[in-house]
Amino acid sequence: MKALMAVWSAVASMALAGSLAAEPVTLQPADPQPGKLRAGLAVMYAYPQDVRDLTEASAALKRGAEVGRPLAGLDHRDTNEGDNTLTSNRAMHVAARISGYVRFDKPGVYNIDFLTNDGLRARIGGQIVGEFDGRQSCDTTVMTEVKVPVAGWYPLDALYFQRLGTACLHMRMGPEGKRLRWMPDAAFAH
């Protein structure tokens, strides 16, 4: 009987944990809301000899980073091999720290994902909303369901790296139950 109760308790705990994991993560808006902003996102670049994961990308940026030309947004299509990554000065072995704000026009529950080549850790409103730590062709991160409590600007911070070959970085979003769409450049500012 004790064994049966222990099994039932474990099953109930797993079911509760599963239902809690299914809840959307709540984003925190910028407080206070920013005043005058410039279009796009700020970016810092580092050019390490090699970069294979997010830890190496972060370390390269800490050793020495330079200000890059701002990104218009997060819709950077897959490049041809040899084309520069984002707004950097190089095609390969690029680490980037991207910062600014993303605007949500309405409160609600949204799904967010990213397409990235190679690694990415993206935070919005204090929550990780996209992550891939490795090398891949231009492919998606796991979709994250988020709760936006109020309309307005939310802080965005992303660590990105590109190692070899081509590069891409896109953000998609859609209301719960709707198709994901590319985020327009107008949704980003710094």
Tell me the domain boundaries of the chain: 25-189
SS3 7: helix
Q: What is the pLDDT along the chain (190 residues), one digit of tens a residue?
A: 444 344 344 444 444 444 445 799 999 999 999 999 999 999 999 999 999 999 999 999 999 999 999 999 999 999 999 999 999 999 999 999 999 999 999 999 999 999 999 999 999 999 999 999 999 999 999 999 999 999 999 999 999 999 999 999 999 999 999 999 999 999 999 9
- In CATH, the number for domain 25-189 is 2.60.120.1560
> Are the CB atoms for 48 and 106 separated by under 8 Å?
no
3-class DSSP state of 57: helix
CB 120 within 8 A of CB 142: no
Of the candidates 129, 119, 117, the residue with the CA atom closest to the CA atom of residue 27: 129
Q: What's residue 21's pLDDT?
A: 54
- Which of these, 145, 86, 93, lies nearest to 116 by C-alpha position? 86
**Which residue has 């830890």 as its token pair?**
55
